[in-house]
Amino acid sequence: MSAAHPHYTEEHQAFRQSLRRWVDREILPHVEAWEAARAFPRELYAKAAEIGLLGMGFPEAYGGVPMDPFHVIITCEELARAAAGGLSAGLMSHSIGLPPVAHLGSEALKARVIPPVLAGEKISALAVTEPSGGSDVANLRTTARRDGDHYVLNGQKTFITSGMRADFITCAVRTGGEGMGGISIVVVPGDAPGLARTPLEKMGWWCSDTATLYFDECRVPAENLVGEENMGFMGLMLNFNNERLALAANAWAFAKVAFEEALGWAKERVTFGRPLIQRQAIRHKLVDMQADLLATQAFLEAVAAKMKAGEQPIADICMLKNHAVACMEHCAGDAVQILGGAGYVQGAKAERIYRETKVIAIGGGASEIMKDLAARQLGW
C-alpha cells in the first residue's frame, strides 16, 4: 500500500510502521508455539496496550486513542501477517465487547469497565449468539429478570470469542416481551455467581479461546445495565456494522498473505528444470488472485471512506463482507494448490488460512444472511 494512497495520511503510515515493528517483535517469533498450545499468553494484552493498539477508537477520557476505519484496515493487515486468525480475534475481542458500553453505558459503568480493558489488565467479550440462533438477535432467548438491585440471567450463549477468560462479558438478554423491543444489554462480570463456561475446540482460530456460557440464576448488579432497559437492540445492530467491516478487512488481509506465500513459493520451487512461476497455469492462478485482491481492496476502502464520513451503508457492508470472504476462499484455496504438499502440512501460512476461511464466512452474520439483509436494505 503506497504512502501516497489518498485514504492514508502520514499518521496512518506512522501507525502502520509502529504496529509492524511490534508484530515482528512480539508475535511472529511465538505464533507457531501459541497455535500448538491453543492459546496465547494474557501478557500480550498489556503489551498491545503499551503501543495503543487496544485503545483505538475508544474515548480518550478512558484511555482510548482516536481512530478511523482506515486504522482498522491497517490493524487487520498487519496482524494478519502472523496468519493466525485466532490471535487477531482473541486479542481484539474487546473491539466488539466494549463499543456498546462506550456508546450507551452510564458514566460510572464506562469508568469501571473500559480503562482496565484498554490497559490490558482485563479482557472483554461480546455474548450474543445462542445455541438456537445467532444473527436473529430479535428472537434471542436468554432472559434477565429484575430482582431488587440485580438482574437474574438464565440461558446460554455459544461460540463466544474470549469466552473462557473474559473478565467482562457484554451480554444480550431478553428483559421484555418478544421481538427487538424486549432486548437489553448487561455487562456480566467473569466471577458472577451462576455463570459457568466450557471451552470449544475448533477447525481454525486455534489460539483464541472460544466458549459456551451457561447462566443459571446468574446474578448481575443492576448498575451493569448498558443504556436503558429494552433498548439494546439498536446498539447491537450498530456494533455489527463495525464488526463486519473488520471481518471483511481480515478476510482481505489473510487472502493477501496467502497470495504472497504462494507467489514466493512459485518463484523458488523448481519442477522439471524450471521455476513454477514460468508455468502458464500457475501464472494465471496468481494473476487471478492478484486481480481479486485489488478489487476487494478497492471495495473495502470505498466502504471505509463512507463510514469515515459518518454513513452506515449497511447493504454495502454486507456485500463487502461476502466479497472479501470469497476472495479469501479463492486465494487460500489456490495458494494451497500452488504450494502442493507444502501447503497441506502445518506450518504453511496458507494451510492455516485455508482452515480459517469458514469462520469468517459464518462469524458476524453468515454469507446467506448477509445477502438477504443487503437485499432488504436495497428495498428488494
Q: Looking at the annotation, which residues are catalytic?
A: 243
In 3-state terms, the chain is what percent helix, strand and coil (to 5)? 55, 15, 30
Rounded CA-CA distance 367/329 in Å is 13
Distance from C-alpha of 244 to C-alpha of 250, rounded to nearest angstrom: 10
Give the span between the Cα atoms of 350 and 336, in whole angstroms: 6
Question: Could you tell me if 15 and 71 are in contact, meaning their C-beta atoms sit under 8 angstroms apart?
Answer: yes
Please list, in sequence order, all residues whose beta carbon lies within 8 angstroms of the beta carbon of residue 27, skipping any fewer than 6 positions away.
44, 79, 82, 87
Q: Which of 296, 257, 83, 1 is nearest to 265 (CA)?
A: 257
Q: Which residues of 249-262 are buried (b: 16+ CB within 10 A; e: fewer)?
A: bbbbbbbbbbbbbb
In total, the chain counts a number of residues equal to: 380
A 10 A CB-CB count for 266 gives 20
Task: Using alpha carbons only, give the angle 229, 232, 233 rounded to the nearest 5 degrees.
Answer: 135
Q: How far apart are CA 187 and CA 101, in angstroms?
A: 8
All three cell numbers of 172? 444480550
Spatial distance between the Cα atoms of 204 and 231, rounded to a whole number of angstroms: 35
